[in-house]
């Protein structure tokens, strides 16, 4: 089945921002975020960096050196991309019949909102380049983004109807059809569908990784907004009620851990940006938490520490990252143990 994020990992995958991406005018502000992600990840495991080309690779190496970040646990692959949201076009690692398979789903940029032809080819190009070692590979025509689903490792998948049933992704394929695909391809036994929940500025059509996340098979951390004056209040309250009604595989209520919503952050045009603490990344022995220079940062850190008592909580300032409507989890993809070859000394 699809391997959960909190399982042991061999590394993390990122696509570094470049001049041909939407970050071209914001590289000075966003690259420091990637440097801090690199610093945190390489303390615990490997980092695989996708570079646009050889010149870009050299520039990244120089930036890492300037930040005193060793490349000992970093490998590089030159594959052109449209943008950096590798969560949604990176590989999904599945273990079926004892064999690890990297599944490569079609990526159409959240229903055709942006150019995506290069992004859609990244995982296949990485596999053909041999960077993944031993796992097998399977390409699927189904449109599916990694940020739109979350799993508990026990056969349960959590997602949102607003995203997966969008007509711009898999038209004509309803809940039953999708659940059948998830069962056959991902080893999923049941799907928990959230009908409510969305963040302003999120152009993914309500990816679940902005809203609610499995921390263990019986614990879900979720975005909560008790402020009646906040536009998110009604939608997230309705989502909370749905979560209260969900049951674990064994039939028990989930342990639900609320995460606050930061104070509204807007871009220069006045658009509210999708700042979410639920967009955290679990790695070996740590959790990388996006923070936003907000008083709620500390509350979120304490809440996640209770969810992951045996892991360090490492805050990463993601104010620059949300300028393009995603956060830390969106910009990364974990690679379970057995995907990357062991680092050489």
CA–CA gap between residue 160 and residue 4 (Å, rounded)? 18
The structural domains of the chain, ordered by start, are 9-336 (3.75.10.10)
Region 185-208 average pLDDT = 97
Over residues 96-117, the pLDDT tens digits come to 888 999 999 999 999 999 999 9
In DSSP terms, which residues pair with 192 in a beta bridge? Answer: 158
Over residues 232-271, the pLDDT tens digits come to 999 999 999 999 999 999 999 999 999 999 999 999 999 9
Cα end-to-end distance, the chain, whole Å: 32
Q: Which secondary-structure segment (H or E) carries 262?
A: none
Over residues 144-166, the pLDDT tens digits come to 999 999 999 999 999 999 999 99
Structure tokens at 90: 């990176």
Phi, psi of 39 (to 5 degrees): -60, -45
pTM equals 0.97
Span of 61-65, 130-134, 276-280, 332-336 with lowest mean pLDDT: 130-134
Asked if residue 345 has pLDDT above 60, the reply is no
Calculate what percentage of the chain has a pLDDT beyond 70: 99
Over residues 6-65, the pLDDT tens digits come to 999 999 999 999 999 999 999 999 999 999 999 999 999 999 999 999 999 999 999 999
**CA neighbor of 193 nearest in space, from 242, 152, 262:** 242
Check residue 24 and report its DSSP letter.
T
């Amino acid at each position: 089945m699809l391997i959960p994020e909190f399982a042991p990992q061999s590394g993390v995958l990122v696509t570094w921002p470049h001049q041909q991406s939407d970050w071209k005018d914001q590289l000075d502000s966003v690259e420091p975020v990637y440097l801090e992600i690199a610093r945190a990840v390489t303390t615990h495991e490997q980092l695989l960096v996708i570079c646009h080309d050889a010149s870009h690779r050299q520039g990244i190496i120089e930036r890492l050196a300037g930040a005193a970040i060793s490349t000992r646990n970093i490998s590089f692959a030159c594959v052109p991309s449209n943008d950096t949201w590798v969560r949604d076009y990176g590989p999904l690692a599945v273990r079926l019949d004892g064999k690890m398979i990297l599944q490569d789903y079609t990526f159409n940029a959240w229903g055709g909102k942006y150019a995506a032809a290069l992004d859609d080819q990244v995982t296949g190009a990485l596999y053909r380049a041999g960077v993944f070692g031993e796992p097998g590979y399977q390409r699927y025509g189904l449109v599916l983004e990694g940020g739109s689903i979350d799993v508990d490792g026990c056969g349960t998948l959590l997602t949102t109807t607003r995203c997966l049933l969008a007509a711009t992704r898999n038209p004509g394929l309803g809940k039953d059809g999708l659940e059948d695909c998830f069962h056959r391809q991902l080893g999923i036994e049941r799907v928990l569908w959230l009908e409510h929940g969305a963040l302003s500025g999120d152009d993914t059509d309500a990816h679940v990784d902005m809203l609610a996340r499995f921390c263990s098979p019986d614990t879900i951390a979720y975005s909560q907004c008790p402020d009646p004056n906040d536009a998110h209040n009604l939608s997230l309250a309705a989502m909370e009620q749905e979560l209260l009604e969900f049951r674990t595989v064994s039939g028990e209520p989930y342990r639900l851990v609320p995460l606050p919503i930061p104070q509204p952050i807007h871009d220069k045009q006045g658009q509210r940006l999708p700042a979410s603490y639920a967009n955290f990344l679990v790695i070996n022995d740590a959790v990388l938490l996006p923070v936003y220079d907000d008083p709620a940062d500390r509350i979120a850190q304490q809440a996640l520490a209770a969810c992951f008592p045996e892991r360090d909580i490492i805050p990463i300032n993601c104010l620059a990252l949300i300028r393009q409507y995603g956060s830390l989890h969106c910009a990364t993809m974990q690679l379970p143990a057995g995907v990357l070859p062991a680092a050489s000394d």
